[in-house]
Amino acid sequence: MPMILCIGAGQSTSAMIEYLNDYNQNNQFELVVADHERSVAEAKIPEGSSAQAIALDIFDAQAMETWVGKSMMVISMVPARFHEVVLRYCLQFKVHFLSASYVTDEISALSKEIEEAGILVLKECGLDPGIDHMSAMKELDEIKAKGGQLHAFETFTGGLLAPSKLENPWEYKFTWNPRNVVLAGQGVVKFLQEGRYKFIPYQRLFNRTEVIYIPDYGYFEGYANRDSLKYLNVYQLQGIKTLYRGTLRRVGFCKAWNVFVQLGATDDTYQMEGVGQMTHRQFINSFLSYNPDDSVELKLAHYLSISLEAEIMYKLKWLGLFSDELVGLEAGSPAQILEHILRKKWTLLANEKDMVVMWHRFVYDLEGQRKTHHSYMVVEGKNATQTAISDTVGLPLGIVARMLFEGKINLRGLHRPILPEIYAPVLAELQAHGVTFVRTEV
Give 293-349 pLDDT, tens digit per residue: 889 999 999 999 999 999 999 999 999 999 999 999 999 999 999 999 999 999 999
Amino acid, res. 146: K
ω into 420 cis (within 30 of 0): no
Smallest Cα–Cα separation from 208: which of 159, 179, 243, 247?
A: 247
- Write the pLDDT tens digit of every residue in 194-240: 999 999 999 999 999 999 999 999 999 999 998 999 999 999 999 99
**pLDDT at position 415, please?**
97
Q: pTM for the whole thing?
A: 0.92
3-state SS, residue 44: helix
Amino acid, res. 71: S
**pLDDT at position 350, please?**
87
Q: Span 359-366, mean pLDDT?
A: 97
Query: Using 50, 70 and 90 to split pLDDT, how confident is the model at 424?
Result: very high
- Write the pLDDT tens digit of every residue in 233-285: 999 999 999 999 999 999 999 999 999 999 999 999 999 999 999 999 999 99
- Write the pLDDT tens digit of every residue in 7-52: 999 888 999 999 999 999 888 999 999 999 999 999 999 888 899 9
Query: Using 50, 70 and 90 to split pLDDT, how confident is the model at 176?
Result: confident
For residue 165, pLDDT beyond 90: no
**pLDDT at position 422, please?**
97
Q: Domains of the chain by range and CATH?
A: 3-123 (3.40.50.720)
What is the DSSP secondary-structure string of 260-293?
Answer: HHHHTTT--SSPPSSGGG-BHHHHHHTTS---TT
**pLDDT at position 365, please?**
95
For the chain, what percent of residues have pLDDT higher than 90?
Answer: 90
Query: Using 50, 70 and 90 to split pLDDT, how confident is the model at 385?
Result: confident
- Please give the angle made by the CA atoms of 296, 300 and 301, to the nearest 5 degrees: 115
**Helix or strand run (H / E) with residue 361:** strand 354-366
